[in-house]
Structure 1
Amino acid sequence: MSLNKSKLFLSTLALGASSIVLSSTASAQNYNGPEETTGPYFSGGYNNFDFDEELGGDANVSAITARAGWQLHPNFGVETDASFGIDDGEFDFDGDEDDFDLDDNEDSDFDDVLSGPGDLGLDYLIGFYGRATLPLSDRFDVSARAGYAFAEIDSTVTTIGGNELVFGGSDDGFAMGASATYDLTESMALRADYTHYEFDTSNAESLGLNLEFKFGV
């Protein structure tokens, strides 16, 4: 993820957090912490993905994310989330003709470098996780999660020779990350996430900000 985009994301995260915290202050004045510590929860929000393609390319993609989970115990739960790209990430492709069996400059060999501008799109990314939670106060907790994720990623590159390359497709692999959650009210929380995805043909990092709704039992 580029430095400018990281700064923009963190600024947006801080601004969003401040706005929600201020708007919920009145309803949360008498709130001292969650009464229920187990039960289902649902959330939705924004994620920024930084993809690193094995065959070349490093692109940032914005996505919306929906999540559902169940806190089985105050310190352990399970959850699943789904992210859908809302824009394509641009990148500068740098590969080899031999990787694609393509003679881009028509010189009768496949030893030359392939390069050109590219676009990476995220159709979807779905993950399933176990989550361990550590409360640090009545309102604030941190957590770690690990699981497995499935994604559909498509990259399109226009080479210097004018050829169009399309690669990517379905991918899957292990995922792990950490999050911090702040309870705004008994049933609403703000959660920031970091997740690393270890796919077969690409790796990805994501930063997310989600508004979470809890339904204690």
Structure 2
Amino acid sequence: MRKKKTILFLSAASLCAAGAAQAQGYGAGEESVGPYLSAGYNYMDFDEKVGGDADISAITARGGWQFARFFAIESDISFGVDDGGFDFNRNEDDLDFDDNNDDDFNDVIAGPGDLGLDYLVGGYGRFIFPVSDKVDLSARAGYAFAEIDSTVQTLGGNQLVFGGSDDGFAFGGSAAYDITENLSLRADYTHYDFSDSNAESFGLNLEVKFGG
């Protein structure tokens, strides 16, 4: 699934670049600076270090301010719209939990699990590399906070809950294609390096620019 999402992101970025090959400039070719807002859809792949690996869908809203042609700051927030299923398989001794109450911690705890994202919010510095008047590539880095919950129904009849608040550094890149002077389509990839989990996000957002 992760490979398919990477291909999806690269395909979106390639479409942006292909559009630039036939694009005409906006006069002087200098993009205006100022605020921008965007919203879109993300696939997220979460890998909890105690829980499991699950894919979820999320909606994302973003706001930013471009101070110069090559630099902007932005923040975004994502909300999960569904839970991702995963297969849980860990040793009882790893969790210090006797699932079947036999006083033996060498058994394996296994069962189906669900992972949900309550929210994920981050702030970033964004470095912009113009390819043409209509296409930008960019890299961003910052810090993000998330509320993640996963529930496992064990074979022993117990319910285990993992997750909670998590935070860590985040970084990634994007490709944006200007549909008009103030409207663009932006494909994003972001990696989140949280303390108790890691995540990758592949998103497609519609961005409105308000610079004058």
Offset of residue 95 of structure 1: 1.4
Pairs within 5 Å for 1:104-115: 104-115=99-110
8 Å contact from structure 2 (residues 172, 188) kept in 1: yes
Task: State the one-letter code of the partner of 1:69.
Answer: G
SS at match of 1:78: strand
Cα distance change on mapping 1:92 and 1:107 into 2, 3 Å: same
- Give aligned pairs, total: 204
Tell me which moved more, 104-113 or 198-207. Answer: 104-113
Query: What is the CA RMSD across the aligned residues, in angstroms?
Result: 2.3
1:54 equivalent in structure 2: 49
Distance, in Å, in 2 between the alignment partners of 1:32 and 1:10 is 32
1:170 equivalent in structure 2: 165
Cα distance change on mapping 1:30 and 1:146 into 2, 3 Å: closer
The reply on whether 1:190 has 2:190 as its aligned counterpart is: no
8 Å contact from structure 2 (residues 5, 202) kept in 1: no
Q: TM-score, normalising length from structure 1?
A: 0.86
The reply on whether 1:6 has 2:5 as its aligned counterpart is: yes
Cα distance change on mapping 1:214 and 1:111 into 2, 3 Å: same
Q: Percent identity?
A: 66
Q: TM-score, normalising length from structure 2?
A: 0.88
Distance, in Å, in 2 between the alignment partners of 1:29 and 1:118 is 51
Distance, in Å, in 2 between the alignment partners of 1:29 and 1:56 is 50
Task: State the one-letter code of the partner of 2:85.
Answer: E
Pairs within 5 Å for 1:62-211: 62-211=57-206
8 Å contact from structure 1 (residues 32, 138) kept in 2: no
Structure 2 gaps of 5+ residues are none
Offset of residue 32 of structure 1: 5.3
Task: State the one-letter code of the partner of 1:210.
Answer: N
SS at match of 1:196: strand
8 Å contact from structure 1 (residues 35, 186) kept in 2: no
CA deviation string 1:161-187 (max 9, x = no partner): 111000100000000000000000011
Structure 1 gaps of 5+ residues are 22-27
SS at match of 1:98: helix
Structure 1 moving runs of 4+ over 2 Å: 28-37, 98-101
8 Å contact from structure 2 (residues 26, 133) kept in 1: no
CA deviation string 1:35-64 (max 9, x = no partner): 542100000000110001101411001000
Offset of residue 34 of structure 1: 6.2
